[in-house]
C-alpha cells in the first residue's frame, strides 16, 4: 500500500464544486451553442458511446518538455512522477522554459506510434496536448509557448498524429490541463491559492482561462479533424462559472466524449479511476482505468520498474470483466521515441489480443461475483471464461443455470467441442491437461436462453471454520481495492474511514463462533479501531503494527453469537482511523465453538 499527499498527473478528484505570455484570443461562452448531454435519451447516449464501449483498450501518451530533464534537475534525481518535475523541484518559470531550446524530437514518427498502438490491439489514443507545465504540444496561435514556436523542432506533432490515426483507423483524443498551468500567469497550482513558487505564475485565474485555456481548447477542437475524446485533468479551483466557459466548446465536435475532471459540477461521460482497478466497476456509469507501464506518466530516464506482460493482460481482462476500458500509458523520450520496454510489452499484449480480442472488444461485465480461477466477459448468448489458474481436468462455472450449447477454446481455430455437464454447483467443462496460454486461456460458452446465474453464498456451519476472504468480499466505496502483497490476495487502500467491507453468508444453525482476522499494517499507521458485525451482534478490536503492509498476522478478536439460522451479512467497519489507513485485510475466520 502506498500513499502520497501529491496528486498524480491525472489525479481523480471528487467534485465539490492570466494573461497569455504572447498575443491572446478571447472566446466567450456565446461563441458556440452548448451541448447538453443531460438531455440525451438513453438510445442517443448509447449510440454516442458505442464505439468507446466496443474499443475497451486505448493508449495514453504523456509527452512534453519534461522529457528533457527526464526526472533529473541540477544533477539530482527528483522524487515523484516525471511530468511533475517543474512542481516537485520548484523550478522557476524562466529556467523551465529554457528547456524548450533542447526539445527537438527529430525521431518522432506519428505513423510508427499509431502502429504500435494498433498492433497492441488498442482502438484509440489520448495524448497530452498541454500538461500542467503549460507547454502546448501543438502549434497554438494563442501562446508562443508551444512546440512549434518555442523549440527547434518547428513541427506540429498533433497534426501528424491526427493524420496517422485517420490513415490507420484509430480514434484520437486530446488531454488538456484546463486549470493547472505553472507557466502562464493565473494558472492554478495544486493546493492553490498560495502555492505558487514564482511570482511569474501569479495572476487572475478567470482571465487565464478566458485568454489561454479556452482559446487553446477551441484550436484543438477546430484545427485537428475529428476529436473523439476531450480528457480534462485536475480541476483545481474550478468553479461552475469557470467550467461554463469550456462547456459550449464541445459542440464543435458533436459526439465527443468527455471525462469527469472538468470541475464545477460537470460529471462528464466517464469515471476515471487512476492506477487501480475498482473492485466492482461503476454500475450505471461508463468508466476507464488509466495506468502507467512503469511508475511514471512522463518519461524518467531511471524508472525501469516495468509491469510484466502478464500483469498488463490480466489488468485488461479484469477491467473488461467489470465493464470498463483500459487506457495504458507510454511516456516518449525527448527524441520522440517510445521506450523499448513499452514497445516490447505492447507487442506481447497485441499477440494475445490477436487470438483473444473477441473476448475483450464489445463485451460487457461478468455476471459472476467471484471466480476462483479467473474472470468472465460476455456478449448476448456467449460467455468468455478467462482462465488464469488452469484446473486439472475440469473447470467449474459456479451458479450457471443455462444449458451450454457448445464450449470450445477461443484459440482453437477448429473450435473443437469441449465436453460440458451440469453439476450441483453449476456447469462443469472438461479441459485439456495443459493451459493453451500461460497468462490467460479463454474458453467460449455458447448458452441457450436468457442468462441465469445463481450467486454463491458461503455457509456458516457448526462443524468447520469459515474463512471470509478478500476476493469474496463486497467492497463499499471507491478507494478500497483488491491487491496482492508477496502473493497474498488482500483488501488494501483503506484510506477512507467511512468505506467498509461485507460478506453475505448463510448460517446453517444458530451458535457461537470465535472471530479472527488476518491483516497487515505498517508501524507508522497502526492504531485504528474496528468492528465486525453479524446482524445485531458485533465484536471490536484495535489494529496493532505488524511491521509492514506485507507482513500478515492472525489476530483474535472475540466471539459472535448467531441467534438464528438463515441469511446473514458479516461486516467489517473502521470506527476510528488515527493514521493514514486502517489495514490490509487478508481474511476473517469464523471458528465454531463446541457446546
DSSP string, 328-360: EEE---TTS---HHHHHHHHHHHHHHHHHGGGT
Cα gap 496→499, rounded to integer Å: 6
For residue 72, list its beta bridge partners.
77
Q: What are phi and psi of 279, to 5 degrees?
A: -60, -35
- Report d(CA 515, CA 259) in Å as an integer: 43
| Contacts with 229 (C-beta within 8 Å, 6 or more apart), sequence order | 52, 124, 126, 171, 172, 173, 174, 256, 257, 258, 259
Q: Which are the contacts of 164, defined by CB distance < 8 A and separation ≥ 6? A: 110, 111, 113, 114, 170
Helix (H) or strand (E) holding 374: strand 374-379
Q: What gap in Å lies between CA 20 and CA 142, rounded to an integer?
A: 7
Other Cβ atoms within 10 Å of 149 Cβ, number = 15
Would you state the cell numbers that stand for residue 40, as one nine-digit string?
440525451
User: What distance in Å separates the CA atoms of residue 423 and residue 395, rounded to the nearest whole number?
Assistant: 11
Q: Looking at residue 274, what DSSP letter applies? A: B
Distance CA 469, CA 582 (A): 17
Cell numbers placing 17: 464544486
* pLDDT at residue number 37: 63
Biggest alpha carbon–alpha carbon distance for the chain: 85
Rounded distance between C-alpha atoms, residue 382 and residue 448, angstroms: 9
Q: Do 532 and 557 meet the contact criterion of CB atoms below 8 Å apart?
A: yes
Question: What cell does 339 get?
Answer: 521506450
Give strand pairing partners of 542.
529
Residue 378, classified by CB atoms within 10 Å of its CB into exposed (0-12), middle (13-18) or buried (19+), is buried
Domain 374-447 in this protein, CATH class: mainly beta
Q: Where in the chain is the domain with CATH 3.20.20.80?
A: 29-359
Residues 560-593 as b/e (b if ≥16 CB within 10 A, e otherwise) read bebeeeeebebbbbbeebebebbbbbbbbbbbbe
Q: Degrees (nearest 5) of the Cα angle 192, 195, 199?
A: 115
pLDDT score, position 303? 98
Tell me how crowded residue 304 is: count the other CB atoms within 10 A of its CB.
10
Q: Residue holding cell 462455472? A: 397
Residue whose entry in the numeric block shows the C-alpha cell 513499452: 342
Take residue 193 and report the three cell numbers written for it. 491559492
Per-residue burial over 312-326, b if 16 or more Cβ lie within 10 Å, else e, is bbbbbbbbbbbbbbb
Assigned C-alpha cell, 325: 476500458
Q: Where in the chain is the domain with CATH 2.60.120.260?
A: 458-592
CA distances from 64 to 47, 132, 190 (A): 34, 10, 19
Across the 595 residues of the chain, what is the mean pLDDT of every consecutive 10-residue run?
A: 35 29 31 55 96 98 98 98 98 98 98 98 98 98 98 98 98 98 97 90 97 98 98 97 97 97 96 90 93 98 98 97 98 98 98 98 94 96 98 95 97 96 95 96 98 87 92 87 82 94 93 96 95 94 96 96 93 95 97 92
Distances (CA, A) of 383 to 57, 287, 362, 406, 444: 19, 21, 12, 11, 6
Return all residues near 16 (Cβ < 8 A) that are at least 6 apart. Answer: none
Give kind and range of the element (H or E) at residue 421.
strand 420-423
Q: Residue with C-alpha cell 499494517?
A: 521
pLDDT at 519: 97
176 DSSP β-pair partners: 130, 232
Rounded (10°) CA dihedral 331, 335, 337, 341: -70
Neighbour count for residue 246 (Cβ, 10 Å): 25
Paired strand residues for 409: 443
CA pair distance 25, 47, nearest whole angstrom: 35
Q: What are phi and psi of 335, to 5 degrees?
A: -85, -10
| CA angle, residues 547, 571, 568, in degrees to nearest 5 | 140
Strand 325-330 and strand 286-292: pairing? parallel
What is the rounded CA–CA span in Å between residue 145 and residue 97? 8
Q: Is 505 helix (H, G, I), strand (E, B) or coil?
A: strand
Residue located via cell numbers 456467449: 382
| Topology given in CATH for the domain delimited by 29-359 | TIM Barrel (3.20.20)
Beta bridge partners of 484: 489
pLDDT of residue 36: 53
C-alpha grid cell for residue 210?
478566458
The CATH code of domain 458-592 reads 2.60.120.260
| Delimiting residues of CATH 2.60.40.1180 domain(s) in the chain | 374-447
Length of the chain: 595
473 DSSP 8-state letter:
P
CA distances to 107, 356, 534, 580, 583 from 504, in Å:
56, 34, 10, 28, 21
Q: Strands, E, within 23-103: which ranges?
A: 57-61, 72-73, 76-77
Q: What is the DSSP letter of 536?
A: T
Backbone angles phi, psi at 87, to 5 degrees: -75, -45
Amino acid at each position: 500500500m502506498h500513499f502520497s499527499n501529491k496528486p498524480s498527473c491525472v489525479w481523480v478528484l471528487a467534485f465539490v464544486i492570466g494573461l497569455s505570455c504572447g498575443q491572446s484570443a478571447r472566446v466567450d461562452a456565446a461563441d458556440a451553442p452548448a451541448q447538453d448531454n443531460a438531455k440525451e435519451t438513453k438510445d442517443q447516449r448509447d449510440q454516442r458511446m458505442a464505439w468507446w464501449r466496443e474499443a475497451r483498450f486505448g493508449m495514453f501518451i504523456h509527452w512534453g518538455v519534461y522529457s528533457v530533464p527526464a526526472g533529473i534537475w541540477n544533477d539530482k534525481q527528483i522524487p515523484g512522477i516525471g511530468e511533475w518535475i517543474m512542481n516537485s523541484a520548484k523550478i522557476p518559470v524562466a529556467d523551465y522554459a529554457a528547456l524548450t531550446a533542447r526539445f527537438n524530437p527529430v525521431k518522432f514518427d506519428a505513423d510508427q506510434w499509431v502502429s504500435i498502438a494498433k498492433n497492441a490491439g488498442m482502438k484509440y489514443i489520448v495524448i497530452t496536448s498541454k500538461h500542467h507545465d503549460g507547454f502546448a504540444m501543438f502549434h497554438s496561435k494563442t501562446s508562443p509557448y508551444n512546440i512549434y514556436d518555442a523549440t527547434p523542432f518547428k513541427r506540429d506533432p498533433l497534426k501528424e498524429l491526427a493524420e496517422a490515426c485517420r490513415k490507420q483507423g484509430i480514434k484520437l483524443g486530446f488531454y488538456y490541463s484546463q486549470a493547472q498551468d505553472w507557466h502562464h500567469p493565473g494558472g492554478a497550482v495544486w493546493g492553490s491559492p498560495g502555492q505558487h513558487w514564482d511570482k511569474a505564475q501569479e495572476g487572475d485565474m478567470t482571465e487565464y482561462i478566458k485568454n489561454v485555456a479556452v482559446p487553446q481548447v477551441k484550436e484543438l477542437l477546430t484545427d485537428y479533424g475529428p476529436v473523439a475524446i476531450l480528457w480534462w485533468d485536475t480541476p483545481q479551483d474550478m468553479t461552475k462559472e469557470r467550467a461554463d466557459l469550456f462547456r459550449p466548446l464541445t459542440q464543435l465536435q458533436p459526439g465527443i466524449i468527455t471525462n469527469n475532471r472538468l470541475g464545477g459540477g460537470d460529471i462528464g461521460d466517464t469515471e476515471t479511476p487512476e492506477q487501480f482497478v475498482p473492485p466492482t466497476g461503476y454500475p450505471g456509469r461508463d468508466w476507464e482505468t488509466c495506468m502507467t507501464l512503469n511508475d511514471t506518466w512522463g518519461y524518467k530516464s531511471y524508472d525501469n520498474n516495468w509491469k510484466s506482460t502478464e500483469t498488463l493482460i490480466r489488468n485488461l481482462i479484469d477491467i473488461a470483466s467489470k465493464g470498463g476500458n483500459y487506457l495504458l500509458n507510454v511516456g516518449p523520450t525527448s527524441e520522440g521515441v517510445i521506450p523499448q520496454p513499452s514497445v516490447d510489452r505492447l507487442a506481447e499484449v497485441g499477440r494475445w489480443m490477436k487470438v483473444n480480442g473477441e473476448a475483450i472488444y464489445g463485451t460487457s461485465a461478468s455476471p459472476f461475483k467471484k471466480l476462483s480461477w479467473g474472470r468472465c466477459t460476455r456478449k448476448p448468448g456467449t460467455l468468455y471464461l478467462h482462465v488464469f489458474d488452469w484446473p486439472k481436468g475440469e473447470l467449474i462455472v459456479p451458479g450457471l443455470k443455462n444449458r451450454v450449447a457448445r464450449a470450445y477454446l477461443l484459440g482453437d481455430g477448429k473450435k473443437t467441442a469441449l465436453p460440458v455437464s451440469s453439476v450441483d454447483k453449476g456447469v462443469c467443462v472438461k479441459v485439456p491437461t495443459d493451459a493453451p496460454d500461460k497468462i490467460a486461456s479463454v474458453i467460449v460458452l455458447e448458452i441457450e436462453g436468457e442468462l441465469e446465474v445463481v450467486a454463491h453464498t458461503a455457509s456458516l456451519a457448526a462443524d468447520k471454520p469459515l474463512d471470509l476472504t478478500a476476493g469474496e468480499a463486497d467492497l463499499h466505496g471507491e478507494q478500497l481495492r483488491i491487491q496482492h502483497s508477496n502473493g497474498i490476495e488482500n483488501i488494501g487502500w483503506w484510506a477512507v474511514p467511512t468505506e467498509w467491507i461485507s460478506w453475505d453468508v448463510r448460517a446453517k444453525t444458530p451458535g457461537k463462533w470465535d472471530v479472527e482476522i488476518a491483516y497487515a499494517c505498517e508501524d507508522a499507521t497502526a492504531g485504528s479501531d474496528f468492528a465486525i458485525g453479524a446482524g445485531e451482534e458485533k465484536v471490536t478490536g484495535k489494529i496493532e503494527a505488524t511491521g509492514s503492509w506485507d507482513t500478515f498476522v492472525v489476530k483474535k478478536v472475540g466471539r459472535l453469537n448467531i441467534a438464528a439460522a438463515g441469511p446473514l451479512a458479516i461486516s467489517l467497519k473502521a470506527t476510528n482511523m488515527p493514521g493514514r489507513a486502517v489495514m490490509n485485510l487478508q481474511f476473517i475466520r469464523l471458528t465454531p465453538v463446541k457446546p
